[in-house]
Amino acid sequence: MLLALLYSLEKAGAVLLLYFAIQQIEGNFITPMIVEKQVSLLPAYTLALLGAFGSLLGFLGLLLALPILIVAQTWVKEVVIKDILDRWETAPSRKP
């Protein structure tokens, strides 16, 4: 923006508007689609957790809510479902 300001105030304003538009598109559309495909999080879980962590821990809660949710979801999938439940399901049944 400082470089555009060397030429004219209108160009600096255009750069600022373009930066703001790109930031909004990336933050509101591209990043949620990538997170949904990579991590398979439902938007309702994400919003509920952001609201809960935000009200309990403030700004720090908003920063940490999504990483904590992703770690918890991965842990549940890997440990609980794959290690415990799959082993329990494939265990030989003891019939008299």
Tokens 């949710």 -> residue: 69
Give CA–CA dist 88/80, Å, rounded. 11
Q: What is the DSSP letter of 58?
A: T
Higher pLDDT residue, 53 or 84?
53
Per-residue pLDDT of 23-61, as tens digits, reads: 988 877 887 787 778 777 777 777 888 889 989 999 898
Give me the half-sphere count of Cα atoms (radius 13 Å) on the Cβ side of residue 39: 22
CA 22, 28, 29, 31: dihedral to nearest 10 degrees?
A: 90
Percent of the chain beyond pLDDT 70? 88
